Structure 1
Amino acid sequence: MRERLPFKTLFAVPLHCEGCINGVKNALSQVEGILNVDCHLEQQLVEVEGTAAPSRISASLQKIGKDCILRGSGNANSAAVCILETHAPGVVNPVRGLARLVQVGTEFTIIDISLRGLAPGIYQASIRQNGDISRGAASTGGAWEEDTKGGEARGKLGQIEVSNEGSGAIIIDVGIAIWELIGRSMVLSSSTEGFQQGDEATLVGVIARSAGVWENDKVVCSCSGKTVWEERVEQTGKGML
């Protein structure tokens, strides 16, 4: 596997003083792969450079009581996101996972998947042929670029183990460019194929382009009039990671 190249990640983080900045820097110094941390007090932003996955960075900040919102990763046109939901009927909070994708080299992408609220066990992660989720995972087609000669499909990403607490995470390095994935779907399921729309143990979402570093300066949503932090509270209540 190729060596990861450093990339930048930008988080909105509540910062009130130099003590906050020192606390953030001390916490992130413990995360493997981080090369540099710049804190912008006036803008309430933390810029991180290195090879650490965004989920590792946010988890480290949350451990010291700092909430954070990812505002951008990598260069322009090099990042994507996929919200993973169950399509089972009657589920109050269908969002059970989030995948963040960052291209860090030519045809070299990090896929950072976090899950929660699932039954314990082994789940298969895959990129599907299309982005049709009208019937959940059942309408997404086969695994992307299935090898007709019997080899492994490019879309098969591997397994994720979900703990007894219902959470799981994995960071996968793949030889794929971001542009190849935009508009396709991602599926996480305890089954490898033959997905059922009403299966609560099957998650699906469409991969969408997301902002690179410094490409997203929104503070207030023009649609709802809510700040990014108000939206954060609302989305967290719906199960968003």
Structure 2
Amino acid sequence: MVSPPSTFGTDLDDVKGALGKVDGIAKIEANLKDQLFYIEGTAAPSSIVSAIEATGRDAILRGSGKSNSAGVCILETHANGVSDPVRGLARMVQVSDSRTLVDLTVRGVSPGTYHATIRETGDISRGAASTGGIWDAVKQLAGFSQPRGMFGTLEVGKDGRGSAFLDRPVSVWEIIGRSMVVSKQQQEGAFQTEDRDTLVGVIARSAGVWDNDKTVCSCSGKTVWQERKEQVGKGML
């Protein structure tokens, strides 16, 4: 984790204490000189950032995993007449040969249960309606009872916000360039482009640790701080 010098205090006990309360963190090390925290575990990235922010500091996740093991997907509605179509963000980190963790957050949608799926194509020209069926790679060979593209569900509350930490038997390289759909509609239903509660985005490669510690996504070229300020302004983080 990294925090700007103006908000990074010399007393780290309160930060360590806050992180120590987060489920899934196995190890915490601090480097005051470089203004970094090194954290090991399975906690959701969003929960780590929230814990640090609760101490009055600013923070972002600089990188995770090895080269080619991280992805990001900005989820948007394709309905007309929406001033800000961005409604969600999914960060993906591969933690083993066939296991990827997904930190999924949405906001500005109606309450209810949403299904998150990976689709066959990255064609979002008509929103979710043009993405094809659920990605179903090697289901039979791997012995899965359902398509690996069925990532799970998340619950959105009355405030229009929801988040989920998903764990799926996939590798990041398999899903780069495909699309993710988050919708109330059934996974194989006919998506309606004008449905404001159906979100879609193309999965892009994200910088892994030490690959590029400044750029969050190779598709946009934005620095991690630029991207974070933008997402905070949209209520995503």
Aligned in 2, Cα 1:22/1:216: closer, same or farther, shift over 3 Å?
farther
Moved over 6 A (4+): none
1:212 is matched with 208
For residues 92 and 29 of structure 2, what CA distance do their matches in structure 1 show?
A: 22
> Equivalent residue of 2:229, what SS?
helix
CA RMSD of aligned residues (A): 2.4
Q: TM-score, normalised by structure 1?
A: 0.84
Tell me whether 1:103 sits opposite 2:97 in the alignment: no
Q: TM-score, normalised by structure 2?
A: 0.85
For residues 69 and 225 of structure 2, what CA distance do their matches in structure 1 show?
A: 25
| C-alpha displacement of 1:184 | 0.5
Aligned in 2, Cα 1:126/1:68: closer, same or farther, shift over 3 Å?
same
Q: Which amino acid aligns with 2:208?
A: G
2:153 is matched with 159
For residues 82 and 227 of structure 1, what CA distance do their matches in structure 2 show?
A: 16
CA deviation map 1:54-107 (0-9, x unaligned): 111112122222222222111111111111111111212211111111111121
Structure 2: 5+ residue stretches without partners: none
Tell me whether 1:13 sits opposite 2:3 in the alignment: yes
1:61 is matched with 52
Higher fraction of strand: 1
CA deviation map 1:5-38 (0-9, x unaligned): xxxxxx222353322x222211101111112223
Summarize the alignment of residues 1-241 of structure 1 with structure 2, pairs less than 5 Å apart.
11-14=1-4, 15-19=7-11, 21-145=12-136, 152-192=146-186, 193-218=189-214, 228-229=224-225, 232-241=228-237
For residues 41 and 198 of structure 2, what CA distance do their matches in structure 1 show?
A: 33
Q: Which amino acid aligns with 2:71?
A: A
Contact 1:96 1:239 in 2 (8 A): no
Counting matched residue pairs gives 224
Aligned in 2, Cα 1:112/1:234: closer, same or farther, shift over 3 Å?
closer
Structure 1: 5+ residue stretches without partners: 1-10
